[in-house]
Amino acid sequence: MKLGTKITLLTSLLLIVILLCVDIIVYSLFIKIAGQNAGEMLLSKWEPIIQQVESMNSEARNALLYNSLTEDTLIRISVPGSDSIRMISNGADFNLNGVPVTSSKTRNARLLKHDDERILMVYIPMKTAGGTMTCFEIAERLDDLETNIHILVTILTFTTFGAVMVCMLGGSLLSRTVVKPISTSIRTMKEIERSLTFKKIPYKGKSADELYEMTGTFNRMMDRLEESFWNQQQFVSDASHELNTTLMIIEGYSNILRRWGAYDTKVQEEAVKSIYEETKRMRVMTQQLLNLASSQQGRQFMLDSVDLIQTCKQVITHFRQLSTRKLILHAKEKEMVIQADHSKIKQLLIILLDNALKYSTAPIELHITQQDDNIQLIVKDYGIGIPREEVKHVFERFYRVDSSRHRKTGGTGLGLPIAKSIVEEHQGRIRIKSREGTGTEVIVELPILHPSWNK
Ligand code: ADP
């Protein structure tokens, strides 16, 4: 069953139950109150008459009672403790056969159904001068009440039926309004499933309801999926392009080696050296690609307390074993603990110091300072720098300022994108200040407390 039909049926069913309860209450109250009122009226009419007949002889009494009767009234007179029951009627076309005689010491009125007719009976006990009790039961057929009950039942039936109709109509309109955005969403999702493309659910205006929120969330999710999909596509095509270029170079040198290598030792030496360099570069690149892929998938991220000063010292010692270049650490504090992934912070420092070493010849400076809740880390070199218009591109994958110089330095164009993704994993920021021919500063800001810590 469709959601819209379900909503309509459930609301209508609920309304029918409520209306039926209300109808029953109204009907019962009406009969009770109308019966009570009619009873009081009949009692107040007959009580004075009964008082009058108290002192009369039997003939005068019968005459008065007879004359007070209408066609819809009859009187039953009984004496408690004896079988004497007498009926007086003035042409009434109903009887009290089967209606038990009332015996009570107090006056009362009751409404009863007899022979499919609604009859009101009032009971008036009377003590005669001799001390015997005589009970008068005046029965009146309530034709007016019957008619009024019919009118009431008709009104209640029509209003109930009308209300249910209006509710069904309103329910179907309401369900259409509620279900419409869901149907649109389903259509869009089916379209996405069929065409395997990224589509958004169309929606107008602004609202605070859940459906609006659901549509907004779905569209945002689509945006992110689309962005991530195109990033992956870009990544794969960039990576294939880079690997292909390297393989083409290796192929070219292999060809030279095959054709002239046996005759010319200089050519042979140069080709072997180039093949070796390119192979090495390709190995580094594949490793970096794996690192980048795993960090973008959020894998292998382990938060710990990391002393940044100590980690910098470790990385500097590592570089001192590989090169004679000067690396100077500037830090006021002896230790600076942040919440981070130790191996990733180490990788970040290696990338930045490696670049500084590659693109400069002068000593390299490493500054660490604390600024409120952040740690600022600056890797500064006095090397070739980056042209101003190229700075904004250096965080793009495989972007190299001048590819010819990187063939010499063995650069892959993946160092800074990896550094950026590490910094972003730590909820930090990275930027570059550089002037061509003067030097470069890579500025990293990392929060001391990682936002996801203790979650
Ligand atoms: P690569 O492995 O080629 O160095 P990166 O992503 O680390 O790749 O750097 C991207 C580009 O930024 C490179 O082309 C490089 O020329 C430039 N670059 C990065 N760091 C520096 C620096 N310290 N000085 C000058 N240029 C730099």
7-64 pLDDT, tens digit each = 888 888 999 999 999 999 999 999 999 999 999 999 999 999 988 888 788 888 888 9
In ligand 1, the atom with minimum distance to the C-alpha of 379 is 23
- The answer to whether residue 179 is domain-embedded is no
pLDDT at residue 150 tops 90: yes
> Which pLDDT score, from 0 to 100, does residue 43 have?
92
* Rounded distance between C-alpha atoms, residue 135 and residue 85, angstroms: 10
pLDDT at residue 403 tops 60: no
Q: Which one is predicted more confidently, 394 or 212?
A: 394
Bridge partner list, 273: none
* 219 plus 101 within the same structural domain: no
Chain mean pLDDT for the chain: 87
Q: Which one is predicted more confidently, 316 or 97?
A: 316
In ligand 1, the atom with minimum distance to the C-alpha of 418 is 6
Q: Supply the CATH number for residue 351's domain.
A: 3.30.565.10
Domain C-terminal end among 134, 151, 168 = 151
Q: What are phi and psi of 58, to 5 degrees?
A: -60, -35
Mean pLDDT over 66-70 rounds to 90
Task: For the chain, give percent helix, strand, coil, nearest 5.
Answer: 55, 20, 25
> Which pLDDT score, from 0 to 100, does residue 384 have?
93
Q: Which of 3-7, 141-145, 364-368 has the lowest mean pLDDT?
A: 3-7
Domain C-terminal end among 92, 119, 151 = 151
- With 0-12 / 13-18 / 19 or more C-beta atoms within 10 angstroms meaning exposed / middle / buried, residue 319 is middle
CA of 415 to the centre of ligand 1 (A): 7
Q: Which one is predicted more confidently, 352 or 261?
A: 352
Query: Two tokens at 164?
Result: 């249910």
Q: Quickly count: other Cβ atoms within 10 Å of residue 327's Cβ.
A: 19
Mean pLDDT over 353-373 rounds to 93
* Rounded distance between C-alpha atoms, residue 138 and residue 44, angstroms: 12
Mean pLDDT over 180-199 rounds to 87
Domain C-terminal end among 295, 317, 341 = 295
* 138 plus 11 within the same structural domain: yes
* 129 plus 208 within the same structural domain: no
For ligand 1, atom 11, the nearest C-alpha belongs to 400
Best probe residue, ligand 1, of 287, 352, 360, 400 (max atoms within 8 Å of C-beta)? 400
CA of 400 to the centre of ligand 1 (A): 6
SS (H, E, C) 111-146: EEEECCEEEEEEEEEEECCCCCEEEEEEEEECHHHH
R_g (Cα) of the chain, nearest Å = 51
Query: Two tokens at 209?
Result: 């309801």
* Rounded distance between C-alpha atoms, residue 200 and residue 220, angstroms: 9
Q: Which of 175-184, 187-196, 274-283 has the lowest mean pLDDT?
A: 175-184
> Whole domain around residue 280: which residue ranges?
198-295
> Which pLDDT score, from 0 to 100, does residue 455 have?
47
Q: pTM for the whole thing? A: 0.54
In ligand 1, the atom with minimum distance to the C-alpha of 288 is 2
What angle is formed at CA 78 by the lines to CA 72 and CA 80, rounded to 5 degrees? Answer: 145
For ligand 1, atom 2, the nearest C-alpha belongs to 411
SS3 of residue 441 by DSSP: strand
The tens digit of pLDDT for each residue in 287-319 reads 878 877 776 665 567 888 999 999 999 999 988
pLDDT at residue 411 tops 80: no
